[in-house]
Amino acid sequence: MPTRSWTGSSPSGADLVLRLTLRNISRRKLRFALTTLAVVLGVSFLSTSFFLTDKLRDTFAELATDITGELDLVVRTSISEDGQRLNRLPVPAEVLAVVVDIPGVAAAAPSIAGWNVVPILLDDDGEPVAVPHSGAPQLGVNYNGIDGLEQMFVTSGRTPERTGSLHDPDTVGEFILDNRTADDHGFTIGETYTVSAPGGNRRFLLVGTANFGSPDENKTVGTNISSFDTATVQELLGKEGLYDEIAIILEPGAEPAEVMAAIQSALDVASAQFHSFLDAIPAEQRDAAAAFAEAELEVVTAETKIAEDQGDFDQFISIISSVLLGFAIIAVVVSTFIINNTFAIVIGQRVRELALLRALGATGRQISRSVRLEAAVIGIVATALGLVGGYLLASLLRWVLVATGFGELPGAIPIRPRTIILAAVVGIGSTVLSAIGPSRRVRRIPPVAAMRDDVRITPTGLRRRLQVGSAVTAVGIAALTMGMTVEMSTVSILTAVGAGAFTTFMGVYLLSPVIARPVASLLGWPIQRLYRIPGRLATDNARRSPRRTAATAAALTIGLALVSLAAVVSDSMKATFVRTIEESIEADLFVYTGAFNPAAGFSTELGEDLTALSVDRPDLVETVMTYRFAMGGMSIDGSYKDVSGADLDVLADHMNIMVTEGHPDGEGRDGLLLHVDPATDMAVTVGDQVTVGFPGGRSTDLTVAAVFEDSTILGNWVVDVDVFDRFLPTAPDAFVSVVFPDGASATDSRSAVEVVTDEYPQVRVEDRTEFKEAQEAQLDQLLSIIQVFLGLSLFIAVLGITNTLALSVYERTRELGLLRAIGMTRRQLRRMVRWEAVIIALFGGLLGVGMGVLFGLAVIAAIPETFVDIVSIPYSSLLGYLVVSGLFGMLAAILPARRAARLNVLDAISYE
């Protein structure tokens, strides 16, 4: 009599598939929980990146809108599309008078802001201490007092007023602080404090505290903000006679487009007369002011300014988002291997059960659908839990940001539909895709054959893997070799290396079952010698199913490959950096802020004071060199370049940049030092003239004085600080180096320098050893963060091993019962399971570390020699990773080993 089929269209058939799926989940809760947890971690990391970055974007978007206030238009100098906004030139103060006379303008106010404005406190011992920061800028802004245009809203005390010129050393000015800075650091209204700024150190009376950006909230987002009257902040920032921008409010009913056109027309007419304004500017600033006077002016809407500010914020946020997404993708990939392995094992265990269902009339499609449905349920649950976990993790990271000085991030974390959709696509999609292979395999198995034999890899299957895996690995290694040896662009090299690494990994993954047996035997040999029967059984179990061993180890292989790659690359970068520092540094002392920020710096007065010390005490200080930096500060043929400034006449005494042609001071203050790469690209050599453009449309011809090879500290483009004074006058000193005369006491010379630097507590003074150690510490900190994030993949891999062992114990219930029946103790049984896990973990560790080293060498070959030219393999760290992988295996076996030891002997023997 023919069997009755569960047709897919039959309600009862669909109901039975669903019931079968739910029954399997309910009967195997631990397996379901472990598999789900692996996906939860990946989804959590993915959703965290979106939750946190959405919150940051909302916060900064609100801030950009708030600080714009009620303004309608902004007058400023123009820059080219690819110009750096940090280098936008200020507006001559006389423009304000032009603007306020335009019909339709209700009010106009200057806006001035500058970095490196640092309030200074006295500690309990009376020593000056600079207000610390966590990477955010320390700003000084002007208080204009015009409703709708003010950014500082006084909540205590009063507004700052002009008390006199800061050029008079006896003048004590007035300022206000943002509330967070004042509260966190104990500033008191009515007390006098020193403020260090680009214009020097000056004394100020604190007359009030304020919220920034909003009357109700202090939206500094970690920034320390000091505010002064307009004339005072101009002097403090070295911007006398200059404004950054002019903010405009229109009269009610005024047409913005018409007013903009009128303002632009007036600016065009007045721009020809701006040279006359130089007479009102102090003589020492006229060269700098010439650049400002010649800059083109433009008028833009508030919407344009808000969009630009948000774009600047998004650049910062995108870095965070990209980093988190990268680690999330790694976590999801590792989870996918675990899910695929889990379903492959489960299908193998349930062959008899599923074959019986086939014999009773279930179609292969229905059985396959049941497996995929189980995967979908795991994906749905994991997505829901992952979203919750991601939200909690994002909340934790927000708390960390606030606690470390980032500033308040008020309001709930937004939940965007995009986040939920992507989490569902990743969570459900990865599990369903991982189950397709196992479900299709079940569909192809005839019921009778499946009821007779378990599905195993046949020798033919291993031979096929050997052939395919070898071919894929060969292609991957060929791509790696091409990336390491063929002359191509950096992007092409990295692409070849990335593709080669991925292809090589897939090839090794296909080959891993072929080598699993011999490697497991090798790893198990010392264990057998130590633990006899448990060790031998553990080794045999690892060898029994090479595909399972390889698949279980795959997740750990991925994690350790990434960690090992990072270790090799980072150790090589560190070795290169240390070698470069040791070979480059000639100076005896370095003075700098220690901030990891290209705009961080301090007043040029410090460098001038140290230079004066070298004149007054040549027995203690021989020479002093100042260093400045400007992102996109100059252009060559329309392309903006990061440029450094240094005192070229003494550069060779302070730093060895490995000059191959010429000499740093060969052309005096009009010299240009080029790294060998741009010099080769431009086909220029010593003595050639190069036309260099600067913000504001100005340009000058500089002569190539030297070509050098080491750009670690100074970068590719170096000019004299005199060029900065003329064309980039607002750039602060980034650091100052000091050389002692021969025979001078290092202690006495340093003490003399520190007498000067004590007035600037925001800077640190370090000798060569201290400077090198500080730079190493910063690099180590960054690399440690990367290793911690990559460690997440190792944690997920541990879950995979735990899951596989738990399934293995379940599968071998009868076998374990027989072992107990013939005399194996619980302790021996636990030991057998634990050492099986260690062998599997060490197998994955060996593959991971081996591939990580290979990929690391390929990446090093792809990275320009400017960054890495030394190969350093951290053998101790790699050995430590192998030890850790074994410990992870031991950890993963705790629960499965305990379950195996607790099995009832009679129940286990009778288990079917």
Res 214: pLDDT:
81
Res 10: pLDDT:
46
For residue 460, name the pLDDT band (cuts at 50, 70, 90).
very low
Question: Helices 546-584 & 302-349, crossing angle to 10 degrees?
Answer: 140
Res 229: pLDDT:
95
Strand 623-636 with 639-646, pairing: antiparallel
For residue 772, name the pLDDT band (cuts at 50, 70, 90).
confident
Flag whether pLDDT at 193 surpasses 90. yes
Res 846: pLDDT:
92
Residue that wins the pLDDT comparison between 516 and 321:
516
Res 437: pLDDT:
74
Percentage of residues of the chain with pLDDT beyond 90: 24
Flag whether pLDDT at 96 surpasses 80. yes
Flag whether pLDDT at 283 surpasses 50. no
When mean pLDDT is compared over 333-347, 420-434, 592-606, 788-802, the highest value belongs to: 420-434
Residue 526: CB atoms within 10 A of its CB come to 10
Q: CB of 270 within 8 A of CB of 264?
A: no
Flag whether pLDDT at 122 surpasses 90. no
Flag whether pLDDT at 647 surpasses 80. yes
Q: CB of 185 within 8 A of CB of 179?
A: no
Residue that wins the pLDDT comparison between 464 and 851:
851
Residue that wins the pLDDT comparison between 754 and 728:
754
Amino acid, res. 601: G
Q: CB of 610 within 8 A of CB of 621?
A: yes
Res 795: pLDDT:
77
- Taken as a whole, the chain contains a residue count of 912
Q: What mean pLDDT, rounded, does the chain reach?
A: 82
Res 230: pLDDT:
94
Flag whether pLDDT at 706 surpasses 90. yes
Strand partners, 816: none
Phi, psi of 503 (to 5 degrees): -65, -40
Res 6: pLDDT:
47
For residue 623, name the pLDDT band (cuts at 50, 70, 90).
very high
Res 911: pLDDT:
52
For residue 459, name the pLDDT band (cuts at 50, 70, 90).
very low
Res 573: pLDDT:
85
Flag whether pLDDT at 2 surpasses 60. no
When mean pLDDT is compared over 26-35, 492-501, 608-617, the highest value belongs to: 608-617
Residue 596: CB atoms within 10 A of its CB come to 10
Residue that wins the pLDDT comparison between 453 and 599:
599
Res 9: pLDDT:
46
DSSP H helices, 350-363, are 351-359
Amino acid, res. 676: V
143-168: per-residue pLDDT in tens? 988 888 888 999 999 999 999 998 89
Mean pLDDT of 248-258: 90
528: left (phi over 0), alpha (psi -120 to 50) or beta: alpha
- Comparing CA positions, the residue from 224, 238, 338 lying closest to residue 282 is 238
- Comparing CA positions, the residue from 585, 552, 446, 639 lying closest to residue 845 is 552
Q: CA-CA distance, 763 to 754, in Å (whole number)?
A: 10
Mean pLDDT of 717-723: 94
Phi, psi of 854 (to 5 degrees): -60, -50
Mean pLDDT of 583-593: 90
Flag whether pLDDT at 674 surpasses 90. yes
Prediction pTM value: 0.74
Q: CA-CA distance, 126 to 155, in Å (whole number)?
A: 29
Res 33: pLDDT:
74
For residue 430, name the pLDDT band (cuts at 50, 70, 90).
confident
Mean pLDDT of 721-745: 90
Q: CB of 595 within 8 A of CB of 133?
A: yes
Q: CB of 134 within 8 A of CB of 407?
A: no
736-754: per-residue pLDDT in tens? 999 999 989 999 999 999 9
Q: CA-CA distance, 581 to 416, in Å (whole number)?
A: 47
Res 194: pLDDT:
93
Q: How many CA atoms within 13 Å lie on the side-chain side of 770?
A: 11
Q: CA-CA distance, 859 to 494, in Å (whole number)?
A: 7
Res 888: pLDDT:
82
Flag whether pLDDT at 242 surpasses 80. yes
Flag whether pLDDT at 467 surpasses 70. yes
For residue 31, name the pLDDT band (cuts at 50, 70, 90).
low
For residue 610, name the pLDDT band (cuts at 50, 70, 90).
very high
Q: CA-CA distance, 705 to 429, in Å (whole number)?
A: 60
Q: CA-CA distance, 502 to 302, in Å (whole number)?
A: 48
For residue 796, name the pLDDT band (cuts at 50, 70, 90).
confident
Phi, psi of 686 (to 5 degrees): -60, 130
Flag whether pLDDT at 279 surpasses 50. no
Q: CA-CA distance, 373 to 658, in Å (whole number)?
A: 65
DSSP at 218 = B
Res 86: pLDDT:
65
Residue that wins the pLDDT comparison between 48 and 337:
48
Query: 253 by DSSP, 3-state: which?
Result: coil
Percentage of residues of the chain with pLDDT beyond 70: 85
Who's near 213: CB < 8 A, 6+ residues apart? Answer: 63, 66, 67, 151, 219, 220
Q: Which two tokens stand for residue 372?
A: 């995929």
Mean pLDDT of 170-177: 94
Res 265: pLDDT:
87
Least confident interval from 250-254, 716-720, 827-831: 827-831
